[in-house]
Amino acid sequence: MDRRIGSEKDIILIKADKLAKEIYRITKTFPKEELFGITSQLRRAALSIPLNLVEGYARISKQDHRRFLEIALGSTKETKYLIYFSYEQKLIKESDKEDLLDLSEEISKLLWVKIKTLRLGGK
């Protein structure tokens, strides 16, 4: 990841970037008729996670930063549902579903800890 975007040490952003890239890779195999349906929705939800992290890092106040982390958390939950939905529709393999859900869950947990820390006045 380009250091001008976010810190290479930011594990949440690194994992969110990986998830978005994996979603893009996997959705390339989705049927053409889903391009403006589940393909678009899943890609937008997954990409929203790192985008909101980056935008939150650009905010000066902790309150604004936390708000963007909360939006990223919501996008993570949305992505998790769409992964499961895609699996149910037989658009993704079980192994991909498990890998994507595991990564999404890691991101959710890390975001939640960061949000709680900011609520308590930490960095």
Note the pLDDT of residue 121: 77
* In the predicted structure, residue 10 carries a pLDDT above the cut 80: yes
First to last CA, the chain: 23
Task: For 19-62, write each residue's pLDDT tens digit.
Answer: 999 999 999 999 999 999 999 999 999 999 999 999 998 888 88
The reported pTM is 0.89
- The domain that holds 62 is classified in CATH as 1.20.1440.60
Task: For 83-100, write each residue's pLDDT tens digit.
Answer: 999 999 999 999 999 999
Length of the chain: 123
Q: Closest Cα partner for 80 from 56, 57, 103, 55?
A: 103
d(CA 5, CA 3): 5
In a domain, 36, yes or no: yes
In a domain, 1, yes or no: no
Structure tokens at 10: 């930011």
Q: How many domains is the chain partitioned into structurally?
A: 1
Domain residues for the domain of 30 are: 11-119
In a domain, 6, yes or no: no
